[in-house]
Amino acid sequence: MMRLRILAEAQDGASYDDLREAAVLAEQLGFDGFFTTDHYLPLHGRPALVPPLDAWTTLAALARETSTIALGTLVTPATLRAPGPLGVIVAQVNAMSGGRTEVGLGAGWYEAEHRAFGLPFPDVVTRFDRLEEQLEILTRYWRAEPGTRLDHDGPHYRLQDCPAGAQATAPTPRIILGGHGKPRGLRLAARWADEFNIEFPRPGVIEQVVGRVRAECAAQGRDPDTLAISAAHLACVGADEADLAGRAARAGLDLSLDLGGQIGTVEQVRAKLAGIEAAGVGCFYLQLPDVRDLDHLRVLARLR
């Protein structure tokens, strides 16, 4: 049976208390995971409504407020944090949660956010080079035995006598990479990831990407079944058509547009998810249009 996870957009005005209520309820309702995006600015030029939250600070607090649900980011840009400090942060949250932490990593894309917070935003090739180097460093850091000293001398990062594995728990944090099946992203995923996430797929895309992911694993000598495949998209689901229309209106969604995603009644979306599962996806991240709509979580739980 497909696992369902919740994806919250904290940068769109949610407070920590909003996220805590949603995460605790998601756990009570039986969802497999509660994830948040890792941004400091709202997307698509929308105005910032409240001071931003930090994703990993939030997840550290949620690690102590929950007990069973997986926690993580989708995704943390490699441009926001250096790999050494990020390794420490994620390992600590993992220890605080009893090994429930997962980290989605990406090359970074939101240039305005980097300008706003004084962060360098290199060209796309350099961003992917940095991501690849981070993956090597983080994997070595998290898998090291406690007391190990880690050295790394690369083109973008240099670690000297770094104490690795100090917060290590079993299992180590899972790594999620994603995209739309472009060659370099596939190579990185087959080499480093525990899960490949297909981001906001359009109809007909999932089958193609699943095939590419499995082929790249085979080309690298990896058993394709060891790389989990997931997908993520906007979700707006109603108990019936009237409930759907009301929820969409409150969230500012125009149902006359082609929004993609999981939009419809419980029965309609359940059928869509069954088709996605049949295409080879074992986990789906339901992106909430409004994390404060707790009744929406109860409706989404009926998809399970």
DSSP string, 96-137: HHTS-EEEEEE----HHHHHHTT-----HHHHHHHHHHHHHH
pLDDT at 47: 61
At the fourth CATH level, the homologous superfamily of domain 3-303 is: Luciferase-like domain (3.20.20.30)
Listed in sequence order, the residues at least 6 apart from 187 whose beta carbon sits closer than 8 Å to its beta carbon are: 216, 220
pLDDT at 290: 93
Domain ranges of the chain: 3-303
Counting as low any pLDDT under 70, the low residues of the chain are: 44-50, 166-170
Angle value at C-alpha 244, between 238 and 246, nearest 5 degrees: 130
Distance CA 115, CA 208 (A): 36
For residue range 206-252, what is the model confidence (pLDDT) as tens digits? 999 999 999 999 999 999 999 999 999 999 999 999 999 999 999 88
pTM of the model: 0.95
pLDDT at 168: 56
* CA–CA distances in Å: residue 229 to residues 86, 94, 125, 168: 24, 22, 25, 25
